Amino acid sequence: MPNTKPTHTGPDKTSAKPKPSGLEAFLGSNPFLGLSVWAHIAIILFLLQSPDLFTPEIPETPAHDIAREYTRESRQHAMRERVDDMEAVKKMVDALSRTEESRTPEQSPSDSNSTTESDSERPPESMQELLARSEQLLQEIRAASDEVLEEKLSALAEKAETERETETETDTPEQASAEDSVEPLSDEELVQAVSKNQREARELLSKMMRSEAAKQQGNSAELQQGESESNGGNGNGGQGLDPNNPLSVEHYFSGMARGSVQDVSQAMRSLASGQASELYAIDDGEKKRLNAPHINQRQKLVYSRKLAASGEKAEWVVLNAWYFIGPFPNPGRANIHTRFPPEISIDLDALYIGDSNRLLQWQHIQFDHLPIIPPDFTDYAIYYAYTEVFSEHAQDLWLAIGSDDQSKLWVNDMLVWQSTDHERVWSPAQGHRKVHLQQGRNKFLFRLENGIERAAFSVALAPAIE
């Protein structure tokens, strides 16, 4: 009789479903409890992403009125700078539109002596008066640019002339009543309106300069090339640059401030010496390869803000003593390009209103480590740090710059560094700049934007050895 094995009639183990884990089984048997757990998780995640919704507002005090006055003065100063820049633009526009047949230098409305006298005699202007003056200047610049670009802008010139004639007509009672019913602009809206007028004035000047260059060379293709270069590239070719005007300088440097490695030392030397004409040759010809020195935290680093030949030797000097102010509000990174008062003028005695209505004052802090973390850092905020570097002699130096998150750096009022807008983790060498320091005191202003979690930055200096 053959030896046979009994047939297995139990369930197939290979097809059996695995038993749920303890937590899964518990939640599965209690569906309402499981729903509650997931709802609580969603609420916690929402709170982590929206902390400002539950940040208590600081109550008003008399000091808040003082802070508002500081802010108002800062905004008024910014408007005055932009209107003065429009005055300078109008001078250049008048010079371009003037011809020997129609106007002699003595008849020019942009005569420097008469303008200087009127500027010195001009009484302080309110923010509304500054806006009105910017609109009048823009109207005059438009009219002058229409004359120079007659062929290209004839249709626009006719339309602008019609609008100007309409504006000079006497308002009807209905119009006057409508104007009276319009709510007055806020201080911030006044600043933005003047800024918009200034941008249009500079765009018209740039267009006129390109048109004149093409006309002198007798080559219409040059105009198209100039237009394409103005939309990208490095800087603005020196067009319309006034070395004595901070906004004009920033407009020129805005292109150079981007990129990981840049040499802005020649431009800084030219501006410091007042030789603005030298800037026209900057970045022309073949690009040189820039070899910035390497920096890491394992190297010997000296923490100081004095550059003396007799000091301790190190590959890099880390700027360790800063005045800080912040946080200024930046909800959802909405103010990533907003200019706050410290960006307009530095007043270490000033008082401002910051995030959640808190009062902000400059505070001095010294560090002995990297990275530098601003005090009172919070999510979605803007901070400013200011320091001064003493140099025994004029010299070129390399800067190594790092930040978490977006950042800008001004050296002696010149924008030399601007990072991209995306959030980042700090490292000591996200960007390098070769800069020129003058003998004596040199001003450094750092703007730091924070998205979420930690805020940090660093600035280190090293000799520029050819």
pLDDT the model gives residue 461: 93
On the question of pLDDT at 443 being above 60, the answer is yes
Cis peptide before 405 (omega within 30 of 0): yes
Claim: this prediction has a pTM higher than 0.85: no
- Is the pLDDT at 425 greater than 80, yes or no? yes
Domain spans, the chain? 63-118+125-167+188-220, 301-463
On the question of pLDDT at 335 being above 70, the answer is yes
CA 344 to chain centre: 11
Report residue 456 as tokens.
Answer: 């940090």
Output the DSSP codes for 32-73.
HHHHHHHHHHHHHHHHHH-GGGGPPPPPP-HHHHHHHHHHHH
What's the confidence (pLDDT) of residue 279?
37
**Tokens coding 408:** 């800008």
Is the model's pLDDT at 367 over the cut of 50?
yes
**Strand pairing category for 431-437 and 395-404:** antiparallel
Q: How confident is the model at residue 165 (pLDDT cuts 50, 70, 90)?
A: low
Backbone angles phi, psi at 111, to 5 degrees: -55, 130
Residue 37: phi, psi to the nearest 5? -60, -50
- Which amino acid type is present at position 395? Q
Provide the pLDDT confidence category of residue 314 given band limits of 50, 70 and 90.
Answer: low
Q: What is the pLDDT of residues 317-329, one digit of tens each?
A: 999 999 999 999 9
Q: Would you give the DSSP letter of residue 17?
A: P
pLDDT band with cut points at 50, 70 and 90 for residue 78:
confident
Q: Are strands 407-411 and 395-404 parallel, antiparallel or unpaired?
A: unpaired
* 224 Cβ contact list (under 8 Å, min separation 6): none
Would you say residue 238 has pLDDT above 50?
Answer: no
Q: Percentage of residues in the chain with pLDDT exceeding 90? A: 29
Confidence of residue 136 (pLDDT cuts 50, 70, 90): very high
Q: Which of 82-96, 221-235, 316-330, 340-354 has the lowest mean pLDDT?
A: 221-235
Can you tell me the distance from the alpha carbon of 138 to that of 198, in angstroms, rounded to the nearest whole number? 8
Q: 9-13, 156-160, 407-411: which range is least confident on average?
A: 9-13
Q: By mean pLDDT, which of 94-103, 119-128, 291-300, 407-416 is the weakest?
A: 94-103
- Which residues are CB-neighbours of 264 under 8 A, at least 6 positions away? 253, 256, 414, 416, 433, 434, 435, 436
Strands (E), 179-329: 261-263, 301-303, 306-307, 316-318, 321-329
Q: What is the residue-averaged pLDDT of the chain?
A: 75
What does the alpha-carbon distance between residue 414 and residue 137 come to, in Å, rounded to a whole number?
26
pLDDT at 267: 78
Lowest pLDDT segment from 40-49, 89-98, 209-218, 306-315: 306-315
Question: Residue 167 is encoded by which pair of tokens?
Answer: 């504006």
**β strands within 304-374, DSSP E:** 306-307, 316-318, 321-329, 351-353, 359-361, 363-366
Does residue 291 carry a pLDDT above 70?
yes
Least confident piece of the model among 86-95, 140-149, 393-402, 454-463: 140-149
Q: Which of 109-123, 358-372, 423-437 has the lowest mean pLDDT?
A: 109-123
Fold of 301-463: Jelly Rolls (2.60.120)
Length of the chain: 466
Task: For 187-280, list the strands marked E by DSSP.
Answer: 261-263
- Cis link prior to 371 (omega < 30° from 0)? yes
pLDDT of residue 47: 63
pLDDT over 50 (residue 274)? yes
Check: CB of residue 240 under 8 Å from CB of residue 92: yes
Higher pLDDT pick, 21 / 234: 21
Question: Does residue 432 contact residue 292 with C-beta atoms inside 8 Å?
Answer: yes
